[in-house]
Amino acid sequence: MAKELTYLEAIREAMVEEMRRDPKVFVLGEDVGPYGGAFGVTAGMAEEFGEARVIDTPISESAIVGTAIGASLRGYRPIAEMQFADFISCGFDQIVNQAATMRYRHGGRVSVPIVVRAPSGGNVGGGLYHSQNPEAWFIHRPGLKVVAPSTAWDAKGLLKAAIRDDDPVIYFEHKYLYRRAKGPVPDGDEIVEIGKAATRREGTDATVLTYGAMVLPALDAAERLSAEGVEVEVIDLRTLMPYDKAAIFASIEKTSRCLIVHEDVKTLGLGAELSAVIVEERFEHLDAPIRRVTYPDTHCPFSHVLEAANLPNADRITEALRQLAAY
Q: What is the mean pLDDT of residues 247-254?
A: 98
- pTM, entire model: 0.97
Q: What is the mean pLDDT of residues 199-224?
A: 98
In the chain, the domains with their CATH numbers are 2-186 (3.40.50.970), 198-326 (3.40.50.920)
Q: What is the DSSP letter of 209?
A: E
d(Cα 272, Cα 279) in Å, to the nearest integer? 11
Q: What is the DSSP letter of 1?
A: -
Give the model's pLDDT for residue 2.
82
Give the model's pLDDT for residue 130.
96
Enumerate residues 6+ apart whose C-beta is below 8 A from 283. Answer: none
- Would the pLDDT of 265 be above 80? yes
Beta strands in 204-295 (DSSP E): 206-210, 232-236, 239-241, 258-265, 291-295
Of 130, 174, 285, 304, the catalytic one is 130
pLDDT band at 72 (very low <50, low <70, confident <90, very high): very high
> Where does residue 108 fall: left (phi above 0), alpha (psi -120 to 50 degrees), or beta otherwise?
left
Q: What is the mean pLDDT of residues 45-72?
A: 98
Summarised one tens digit per residue, pLDDT across range 97-154 is: 999 999 999 999 999 999 999 999 999 999 999 999 999 999 999 999 999 999 999 9
Q: What is the mean pLDDT of residues 225-241?
A: 97
pLDDT band at 301 (very low <50, low <70, confident <90, very high): very high
Mean pLDDT (the chain) is 97
pLDDT band at 166 (very low <50, low <70, confident <90, very high): very high
- Would the pLDDT of 1 be above 80? no
pLDDT band at 187 (very low <50, low <70, confident <90, very high): confident
Mark whether 304 is an active-site residue. Answer: no
Share of the chain above pLDDT 90, in %: 98
Segment 48-57 long-range contacts (CB within 8 Å, at least 24 positions apart) = 48/16, 49/19, 52/26, 53/19, 53/25, 53/26, 53/27, 54/26, 54/27, 54/28, 55/26, 55/27, 55/28, 55/29, 56/28, 56/29, 56/30, 56/31, 56/32, 57/28, 57/29, 57/30, 57/32
Q: What is the mean pLDDT of residues 83-107?
A: 97
Summarised one tens digit per residue, pLDDT across range 29-57 is: 999 999 999 999 999 999 999 999 999 99
Enumerate residues 6+ apart whose C-beta is below 8 A from 275. Answer: 258, 260, 290, 292
Give the model's pLDDT for residue 253.
98
Contact 33, 60 (CB under 8 A): no
> Where does residue 312 fall: left (phi above 0), alpha (psi -120 to 50 degrees), or beta otherwise?
beta
Contact 222, 320 (CB under 8 A): no
Q: What is the mean pLDDT of residues 189-212?
A: 97
